[in-house]
Structure 1
Amino acid sequence: MASASTAFTSLPLIDVSGLYSDKSSDRIAVADRLGKAAREVGFFYVTGHRVDGEMRARLLDQTKRFFAQPVERKMDVYIGNSTNHRGYVPEGEEVLVGGKRDKKEALDLGRDLPADHADVVAGTPMIGPNQWPELDGFREDITAYYDAVFELGRRLLTGFALALGKEEGFFQRFVTRPPSQLRLLHYPFDATAEDVQGFGAHTDYECFTLLLPTAPGLEVMNGEGAWVDVPLVPDAFVVNIGDMMEVWTNGQFVATSHRVRKVQEERYSFPLFFACDYDTVVAPLDELIAPGDAPRFEPIRAGEHLFAQTVQSFTYLRERLARGEIVLPKNAKALSSFGQAARHDAPTGKAGHG
């Protein structure tokens, strides 16, 4: 596998079934492969997981039902009606750099927390209840999928800990009630869209992402600034490192820029953005800083980074910001601060994540 600073041309495929093994040697073997992929590419396929096919099929069926509704029905759960960034995202709500319209619609969901939960009462951004559409079985099927993929994310987190020389549970204390978002994404069919941007180049703001796509279109940028296609692999998730894991590892793990291009067929995509708890202060681990060197990153409060990037990406939030209803956290980073696209000074059109 080529270094992240060179032109890798494909993504590694990792069977993670060993992470479920009682044998530590099996778990360590998978962790070694995860660490290699995270350092050298920042993107990889995952097979051997336990998110079964019937659950994935129900997710797709329910998603198709939702997006097939008239726009006015979908707008019943418009994200702008939410106080915690949950709900329907119509096409154009996420605006790319230069004002380009984003060719997708979405339903953004997360872990439901009741109104009397301490984090909700405290007004913690990105935390709280979902807006659920009134479709039979929708909430149950989507929640079951969320729980299964989140559990897969926990397994990967143990592997990343081992890959960094930590004990398996090192990161688990940071994921007790994270704002981990599940997006149901729909890229409509457009026969004229041979070279139309479906979603601009970006990195993901959280620790890592578990993506289930239904059609081609995803591309990742290698270390030389070239775009590499990510073809579909049956029964596989696509996993990519996010900003927080790049910071934690002092840049050893790579948050790789990616985009959706050339959407020539109807496409659905399901990323779960695996976050750590909102108030987690993420800073480079001491042992990953070479003696005599300064850390490559300043400490970042994980939730504040996520919130700041989201505010800068969504029209309704930028309008709230302009009216003084919300404020950006201090030291908020500008969009496109991570990833190869930023390092190559490429036009990214970063518009959130998905």
Structure 2
Amino acid sequence: MKKLINILTFHDALNYGAVMQAYALSNVCQLLGFEVRIVNLKWSDFLLLRSKKEWHFKRFRSKYLPASTPKAIHKLGDFYSDEKLVADYWIVGSDQVWNLDIVGEYYPAFFLDFVKQGKKISYAASFGVNSWKWGDDYKYDIKKYLEYFQAVSTRERSGVDICRNVLGINAKHVVDPTLLLDDYSIIIGKKQNIRKELVSYKFVKSDAYYDVLREMKNVLGVGEVKELSSLKPCFMKDVSFPIQISVENWLQGIRDAAFVVTDSFHGICFCLIFEKQFVYLPGMLERAERVIDLLTALGLEKRIFKNIDEIRGDTRWLTSIDYVSVKERLNILRNDSLNFLKENLHV
């Protein structure tokens, strides 16, 4: 009989990266021979699907994520009252599950203090900040929770520093679970159709940003700029805005692009997986550590541009990425991270 892993993460968010990291971690655990369930945490109830995007995500989760725990959790107390919430192993992560500004009153649950039996592990958990900012009361509580973990890992090196220097807990740096897999053909098929498109997936954007994309498009000799983040109709010369696209179409958009510009961490992860030429243009440089950390580890610092003027003034983005070298480095990080899971899941 297979042992059971329960995963607590942001699987229910309307965010492409969030649902893909949940898919990747659960898939990896299944490949390691475990039965996997996602803890059925409902941040809010969508009794009526209010948008096309919500419908896309609901369908994707139903098709590609493992079964959820039977009883939905709507409030913090539900974690403690559900006697059937049991497993051999509990994994919290990945994503910003330890960002107290996001999880709010749920923070004890995201440090698994409700778990009555089973070994506790964090995989690529993120505090979402470079240094501790929440005061001593939280610090003492969280230190107490983490002392009951079998193993702790974080997605950023700053998280390792916070665990060690603030909480007195040993932690390991691991890669985002999306990077543990190199094949997503079960979702988007094997056939790649490279389109003559410059693809943008950008949260922070402006008219000036799209002016630069048009200039890049002309230099690259591609026919169109496509924006993958559109929630509502938008009309702009030489730019297409497909609205509220599915998770599958988001992945295909990155895979089939001639070039990608993004400020998204998971946008960058999938550029690496699909070996795309890209520019990382952070919306807020002070929150870019997780991407800068990853690209530095892979020798890709030159793909980081601080602003649109730097893109205009420096053509290093035209230099092709040497993915032979990148994949060698990524495979080392991937194997090290997989070994963390295997050792602590006793595979």
TM interval, shorter chain, is under 0.3
Question: TM (normalized to structure 1)?
Answer: 0.27
Could you say which structure has the higher helix fraction?
2
| Structure of larger gyration radius | 2
Could you say which structure has the higher strand fraction?
1
Structure with greater contact order relative to length (CA < 8 Å, sep ≥ 6): 1
Question: TM (normalized to structure 2)?
Answer: 0.27
